Amino acid sequence: MTKAAMAGVVLVLMTCASAQSSLKRPKITGIDHVSFYTTDQDKNQKLYVTVLGLQKAASPVEPGQVQRFIIGKQWVGYIPVGDTQSTDRMDHVALTVENCEAMRSYLASKGVAVPTAASSSRYGFKSFEVKDPEGNRIEFVERTSAFERPPVEGAPVSRRMIHAGFIVRDRAAEDHFYKDLLGFRPYWSGGMRPERTDWVAIQVPDGTDWLEYMLNIKSDADQHTKGVMNHISLGVKDMNAAQSELESHGWQASANEHSQIGKDGKLQLNVYDPDQTRIELMEFKPVDKPCCSQFTGPHPSEDQ
């Protein structure tokens, strides 16, 4: 090969490498859905439909098998399993993106292991999955023009999932993935004690939903502890009204299910599914001064 030809090859390779490194990250606008496992579908349905007032939808993946409960434009899913030794009931978290294929190419350019192509569904969405540095399954979902959500019926306690939380052990590695690569931005952080950070909330770059790192959890945590940490949060305008609605549906608070002001200054109320996964009701805005740090991003609302 002549020197001129070799120089041309090098130029082409450099151009390709430059193009790959300069790929723009598509918008990430919110949480699309979160999926868990359940060992008792009947009790689970009673909680979501009877108590929380959410509408159940047939699953587009496994009709009659996977439970899906509509939360406004989002949903929470439950995969039925038998008795299991696993204490982790969270399956995956799905983020809504502007362009699924562009996100796949972008992550590939950053060295993230991705599938060869995004999958398309006849139900009107495209998606693909990756694993974050700690092995959590993260799905990216693009809703196409063919996708239609069923109309919300009845009077659900909430019409908006505002965040999902999961256990994090290596904060620096997770920050590189979510903040450096995906563009998530700080929202709030705090802890049970002033000198320690136990929770870190990071918002999606193009919306107000957030993910919450649950830190300082023992590796041998039991199922209840993991259920508390690996959770979802449903936004409500008025916690007193929400609690009254739950009670009118036959719900009674147990020892660890009561309304309180969290360290972030927001009113919250915890309920639990049959497998001890926490569903946290939370007001959209704080009613008191937060501890530990100030909010650095906009608060969500029901209408977003």
**Which of 53-67, 92-106, 129-143 has the least mean pLDDT?**
53-67
pLDDT band at 155 (very low <50, low <70, confident <90, very high): confident
**Which of 5-19, 88-102, 140-154, 277-291 has the least mean pLDDT?**
5-19
Question: According to CATH, where is 3.10.180.10 located in the chain?
Answer: 28-143, 161-283
Say what the pLDDT of residue 48 is: 97
Position 15, amino acid: T
Which pLDDT tens digit goes with each residue over 209-227? 999 999 999 999 999 999 9
Query: Average pLDDT, stretch 134-146?
Result: 88
**Which of 29-38, 80-89, 131-140, 192-201 has the least mean pLDDT?**
80-89
300 vs 135: CA distance, rounded Å: 28
Say what the pLDDT of residue 17 is: 46
Query: Average pLDDT, stretch 5-24?
Result: 51
196 vs 194: CA distance, rounded Å: 6
Buried b (16+ CB within 10 A) or exposed e, 218-229: eeeeeeebbbbb
Query: Average pLDDT, stretch 102-121?
Result: 95
Question: Nearest-CA neighbor of 168 among 135, 193, 209, 203?
Answer: 135
Burial class of residue 1, CB neighbours in 10 A (0-12, 13-18, 19+): exposed
Q: Which residue has the higher pLDDT, 81 or 238?
A: 238
Position 118, amino acid: A
Q: Is the whole-model pTM more than 0.85?
A: yes
Say if CB 242 and CB 253 are below 8 A apart: no
CATH topology of domain 28-143: 2,3-Dihydroxybiphenyl 1,2-Dioxygenase; domain 1 (3.10.180)
Q: Which residue has the higher pLDDT, 94 or 143?
A: 94
Q: Is the four-CA dihedral 228, 30, 129, 143 of positive or negative sign?
A: positive
Return the SS3 of 190: strand
Say if CB 163 and CB 211 are below 8 A apart: yes
Say what the pLDDT of residue 145 is: 62
Share of the chain above pLDDT 90, in %: 75
Question: Nearest-CA neighbor of 302 among 235, 248, 241, 242?
Answer: 235
Say what the pLDDT of residue 52 is: 97
Say what the pLDDT of residue 84 is: 63
Host H or E run for residue 260: strand 260-261
Which pLDDT tens digit goes with each residue over 188-210? 999 998 889 999 999 999 999 99
Query: Average pLDDT, stretch 107-119?
Result: 96
Say what the pLDDT of residue 88 is: 84
pLDDT band at 254 (very low <50, low <70, confident <90, very high): confident
164 vs 156: CA distance, rounded Å: 19
Q: What is the mean pLDDT of the chain?
A: 88
Share of the chain above pLDDT 70, in %: 85
Say what the pLDDT of residue 258 is: 74
Burial class of residue 92, CB neighbours in 10 A (0-12, 13-18, 19+): middle
Please determine, for residue 256, whether its predicted confidence score (pLDDT) is greater than 70: no
- Please name the residue ranges forming H helices in 206-274: 223-229, 239-248
Say what the pLDDT of residue 66 is: 86
CATH topology of domain 161-283: 2,3-Dihydroxybiphenyl 1,2-Dioxygenase; domain 1 (3.10.180)
Which pLDDT tens digit goes with each residue over 51-94? 999 999 865 455 447 899 999 989 999 999 876 657 789 999 99
Say what the pLDDT of residue 12 is: 39
